[in-house]
Every structure is written in C-alpha cells, then in structure tokens.
Amino acid sequence: MPSKTERHRRTFARTEVNYHVAIAGGGNVVGFASGGPTRQVDFPQENEVYAIYILEAYQGRKIGVTLFRRVIGDLEESGRKGLILLALANNPNRGFYENLGGRQVIAKPLALGSAMADQCAYLWDDITGLSRNS
C-alpha cells in the first residue's frame, strides 16, 4: 500500500485535481483540501471533494470553510454541476458538511485493510455559487 506522501504526490500530478493548502503565520501547513472529477461510480454527481483536513489546534477558525470554497470555486470552472464528498460515519466533524448544505445519504462501506468502515456521502446537486455562499 502506498504511503500518504506517495498518494498526495500522485494527486498533485493530476492536472484535473485542485489542491489548496492553509499555512499558519510561521509557514507551517495547518490544513489542506483537494477535489476534482468524481471517482464515485454509484452517484451521478460529477465533482468530488477528495479530502479536507485541518489540524485540530486550527479547527473552528473558518479555515475548512475557506479551503472548501476554494476547491468548489475551481470545480465550478469545470462546468460540472453536482458534488459528492465521502466521510467516515464515525467522523465527529460530519456536521461541517451539513452546515455547508450537503445532503447526507448512505454510501458503501470502505475497506481499510482487512476492516470495513461505514461511510456517509454528502451530496450537492448544483455547486453554482457555493464557493461564495457556504
């Protein structure tokens, strides 16, 4: 299995993927978000937010909202309308996606090594203007 660093390098290399990074005053990376064309064949949404991650010490400062808006702004330029974002069902920060207007539906479980984890999908049918209104 590739390391997280290797996965991120592969993601950076894909021209259709958008990646945004939040940097604190000292130049340290405190969060990131990425998105692009969907990888989810079971849903009709054409865009996907692949990841949003903010260091715990920086959560609650609107950094996640800003990163989400930046990724959505890039995706809006593609002309594709719908959006999906997958989250683990036990993620304590899932309310963040609901506050951004995502409609929750059940998604297939995710294989994590030999274990299975429940997932939720958050859907937006039309992201037009979402980069400004979230």
Average pLDDT per run of 10 along the chain, which is 134 residues long?
69 80 95 95 95 95 96 94 96 94 93 93 95 72
DSSP 58: G
pTM, to two decimals: 0.87
Report helix, strand or coil for 107: strand
In the CATH hierarchy, which fold is given to the domain comprising 4-133?
Aminopeptidase (3.40.630)
User: CA 4 to CA 15: how far, in whole Å?
Assistant: 19
**pLDDT value, residue 1:** 57
